Amino acid sequence: MKNILNSILAGMLITLASCSDGYIDDITPVPQGTDASAPQIQITSPSGNLTIPFTDTKTNIKFEYKVSDDIELGSIEILLDGVKLGTYSTFKDYRVFIDSYAYNNLGLGDHTFTVNAKDLAGKSSTKSVTFNIDNKYTPLFGEKVYIPFFGGNTFTDIVAGKVPTVVGTPTTVATGYTGATYQGATDSYITLPLSGLYSANGISFTFWYKVNATPNRSGIIVINDDNDNTNDNRTKGLRLFREGGATSQTVKLNVGTGAGESWNDGGNIAVDGKWVHVAVTVSPTDSKIYFNGVLQRTATFTSFDFSTSSTITIGSGAPSFTYWDHKSDLSLIDELRIYDKALTETEVQNTMK
């Protein structure tokens, strides 16, 4: 024990001797130096144009910026469209100032956010960013229809601004894949004109789907055959539907080929309360069904025939495919997109991002 104490005392004496011999420098004041540069300004937000939901005309925005100086900041002011928002002259860090400013209810159109800064030597800098706020949607994947189901029982296609025809009392609820979502109801669905939504290269649909097994079968998307509202004739148009039991539902597709029909028996979706991304592609030679970007089944044929079709129904088999009880779907449908071509597998997977 005595040896240990002696060792500790010896170490302390060595440390004190080192300090007194000048091995640790004293704190020496450093001159401030010459102010050589004007303040540097960086605006990090907004970084570009903003697109807001088509139903909105105003949005909330947060301006974010950074100002630094080689010696010491003197003052900073921020402006929006030439109107001063704030002025700052006291800084915790006298060389660097990082700040954000929340602005509510900024309207559509072009806007300019400006930061002016001065240092204590009188040198000044200005930086501005110009951006546009728009409520028009630019298709991300070349889609001809995009219905995001924003809420408030809004079913509008935001690509072309088409307002669907509403039958019955479908609604939107807040528990969607992204925000609000379509909620089906008995004897209810929406329809859009088919014109412009397909081409000689085919048609595709993508959407997020949370299946409700009650009723145990229903229509999901139907390209109506105008000449077959009562008869069991499927040589024209298209029918995407589901059927099964309380634990599993099979999503299937029927395509009219003109002289006949083609069946795609698709795949099974577990009734487990989870969202599934569904994609359906129809080309001049085949149809394909994908779940979560994975191909389930392909059916081949020689052509498709929509010559007697003028509308597309979402959320039901009505009006031309209500036989076999493929009526309204009470499931949730979100992020519906329609394309005027048959998507490739890679394109299908990209729409999930």
Please state, in angstroms and rounded to a whole number, the distance separating the CA atoms of residues 247 and 351.
27
How far apart, in whole angstroms, are the C-alpha atoms of residue 157 and residue 173?
Answer: 17
Do the domain assignments include residue 340? Answer: yes
Domain-located, residue 280: yes
* Predicted confidence (pLDDT) per residue in 322-346, tens digit: 989 999 999 999 999 999 999 999 9
Determine, yes or no, domain membership for 19: no
Q: Which of 90, 107, 134 is the last residue of a domain?
A: 134
- Specify if 14 maps to a domain: no
The helix (H) or strand (E) run that includes residue 18 is helix 2-20
The number of folded domains in the chain is 2
pLDDT of res. 55:
73
Same domain? For 185 and 112 the reply is no
User: 93 and 177: one domain?
Assistant: no
Question: 110 versus 32: which is more confidently predicted?
Answer: 110
Together in a domain, 232 and 330: yes
Percent of the chain residues topping a pLDDT of 70: 90
Which pLDDT does position 206 carry in this prediction? 98
Same domain, 121 and 259: no
On whether residue 198 sits in a domain, the answer given is yes
Residues 218 and 77 placed together within one structural domain of the fold: no
3-state helix, strand, coil in the chain (%, to 5): 10, 45, 45
Assigned token pair, 244:
């099964």
Q: Give per-residue pLDDT as tens, 41-59.
A: 999 999 999 988 777 899 9
Order of strands, sheet of 165-167, starting from the edge strand that comes earlier in the sequence: 165-167, 189-193, 311-314, 217-223, 238-244, 248-256, 261-270
- Per-residue confidence at 258, pLDDT binned at 50, 70, 90? very high
* CATH number, domain containing residue 254: 2.60.120.200
Q: Is residue 99 one of the residues assigned to a domain?
A: yes
Point out the domain boundary residue: 80, 99, 134.
134
Tell me, what DSSP letter sits at residue 199? B
Report the pLDDT averaged over residues 78-92: 97
Residue 32 has pLDDT above 70, yes or no: no
The model's pLDDT over 236-254, given as tens digits with 9 standing for 90+, comes to 999 999 999 999 999 999 9
> How does DSSP assign 221-287, residue by residue?
EEE--TT-SSS---SSSEEEEEEE-SSEEEEEEEEE-SSSEEEEEEEEEE-SS--EEEEEEE-SSEE
Q: Which of 77, 109, 134 is the last residue of a domain?
A: 134
Q: Per-residue confidence at 144, pLDDT binned at 50, 70, 90?
A: very high
Digit-coded pLDDT (tens) for 203-226: 999 999 999 999 999 999 999 998
**Residue 288 φ/ψ, nearest 5 degrees:** -135, 145
Residues 150 and 215 in one domain: yes
In degrees rounded to 5, what are phi and psi of residue 44?
-100, -20
Q: Identify the CA nearest to 205 among candidates 256, 169, 241.
A: 241
**Is the pLDDT reported for residue 101 higher than 90?**
yes
Task: Give yes or no: residues 291 and 162 share one domain.
Answer: yes
Q: Give domain status of residue 158, yes or no.
A: yes
Same structural domain for residues 89 and 163?
Answer: no
85: its two tokens: 């928002």
CATH number at residue 68: 2.60.40.10
- Residues 333, 185: contact at Cβ < 8 Å? no
User: Residues 67, 167: one domain?
Assistant: no
Per DSSP, what are the bridge partners of residue 64? 45, 100
Is residue 126 in some structural domain? Answer: yes
- The mean per-residue pLDDT over the stretch 136-165 comes to 91
The pLDDT, as a whole number, for residue 98 is 97
What residues make up the domain containing 346? 145-350
How many Cα atoms occupy the beta-carbon half-sphere of 339 within 13 Å? 23
Whole-number Å distance between alpha carbons of 279 and 235: 22
Are 262 and 326 in the same domain?
yes
For residues 294 and 337, state if they share a domain.
Answer: yes
Shared domain check, 217 and 259: yes
